[in-house]
Amino acid sequence: MLEIKKNITIAPHTSIKIGGPALYFAKITDPADLIKLFKKIKTSRLPFVIIGGLSNLLFDSRGFKGWIIKIDIQEITQKNNQFIVGAGAILSNLIQAATLGGYGGLHRLIGIPGTVGGAIRGNAGRNNTQISDFLTSIRIFDAQKNKFFNLDPKDCRFQYRSSLFSGNPHHVIIQAVFSLEKKQKQITQKEIEEIIKITRDKPYNHYPSAGSIFKNISLKSIPDKEKRKTLLQSFIQKQKPEKPQSITAIPAGFLIESAGLKGAQINQAQISPQHGNIIINLGRASSSDVLRLIELAKEKVKQAWNIELEEEIIIIKSAF
């Protein structure tokens, strides 16, 4: 049943614990309800935002005068190595189901919070793996055309932290099919435990955050050869990476750290003292505190390296 609530405060539902009241909050458990819902949205002439687990979004503390649509379709069904998954399924639940069934690959993404739909939209990844590596089909609802259809991942322009869906808010992901690798349960489980151990002890993970704020900088995107060389040398010197010859991107966190901003604080928002690319909420941070830190990081990195940082976090401008 289509559930619509009014004046719901967003902050407690987000990973960074920021966001004022949303005028309308709709929960979708049945894709067919999207047709009814978008009829109402069109009549209201108010903006809308699709959400999954709210782990990569920054809403305005003053609120959002529009519709928040939570995709809550959570079914996971398995046919051999194929997993047919509702976009609202929690990514770690899918990984767990696959591991128990003797399938792996996707387990390298363990620890990324949020839903399958949110992960597909931003092509979420870690440990040299991204969600698009395992997709075989994506079902969407096009809110402009009022139509459901399937897409081949080849047509979804998956790149580092972006996809066809990043530039198209009218595409609602409702289901996806994954093709996973046969892998012994015990081996996958051991790898999962190792990944969790590494992330669990990071101090910034003990505070509310929205994960990485900026995208890393691909070396290919720096046309000036000399600048590329200086940057790479500086990174290798400071960070001493294990395989310097295989570096293809410079972490945004390194650029922010080298601009002297680790630990920088505006009111209750702080650039983590341990990780330049994470902004943590010390308790009562507002969206404007976070936005001011984002601007500061962009400005200082531009001054230090003449590089424009690009946000990975999705900022929802308030609509009043």
Ligand X SMILES: Cc1cc2nc3c(=O)[nH]c(=O)nc-3n(C[C@H](O)[C@H](O)[C@H](O)COP(=O)(O)OP(=O)(O)OC[C@H]3O[C@@H](n4cnc5c(N)ncnc54)[C@H](O)[C@@H]3O)c2cc1C
- Binding site residues, ligand X, CB under 6 A: 15, 49-57, 71, 87, 112-115, 117-119, 121-122, 124-126, 165, 172-173, 205, 209-211, 314
Q: CB–CB of 210/280 below 8 Å?
A: no
How big is the chain by its Cα radius of gyration, in Å?
20
Which residue lies nearer to ligand X by CB, 131 or 261? 131
d(CA 285, CA 171): 31
* Shortest Å, Cβ 172 to ligand X: 5
224 touches 141 (CB < 8 A): no
- Token pair 């079902």 is found at 139
Name the minimum Å distance from CB 209 to ligand X. Answer: 5
Nearest approach, Cβ of 155 to ligand X (angstroms)? 16
Query: In whole angstroms, how close is the CB of 146 to ligand X at the nearest point?
Result: 16
> How buried is 95 (Cβ within 10 angstroms: 0-12 exposed, 13-18 middle, 19+ buried)?
buried
Smallest distance from ligand X to CB 35, Å:
16
Smallest separation, CB 80 to ligand X (Å):
25
- By beta-carbon proximity to ligand X, the closer residue of 71 and 98 is 71
State which residue, 293 or 305, has the beta carbon closest to ligand X.
293
Please name the residue that has the structure tokens 């994954």.
178
Nearer to ligand X, 109 or 300 (CB): 109
DSSP string, 221-236: G---HHHHHHHHHHHH
**CA distances (Å), origin 124, targets 3, 164, 197, 234, 242:** 29, 14, 20, 28, 24
- Residue whose tokens read 């092509």: 123
Name the residue nearer to ligand X (CB basis): 20 or 53. Answer: 53
**∠ CA 204-210-211, rounded to 5°:** 60
* Nearer to ligand X among residue 112 and residue 266 (C-beta): 112
Rounded least distance, CB 165 to ligand X, Å: 5
Q: Give whichever of 51 and 264 is closer to ligand X, judged by the CB atom.
A: 51
First to last CA, the chain: 29
Residue environment code for 308-318, b if the CB has 16+ CB neighbours within 10 A, otherwise e: ebeebbbebee
Determine contact, residues 25/70, Cβ cutoff 8 Å. yes
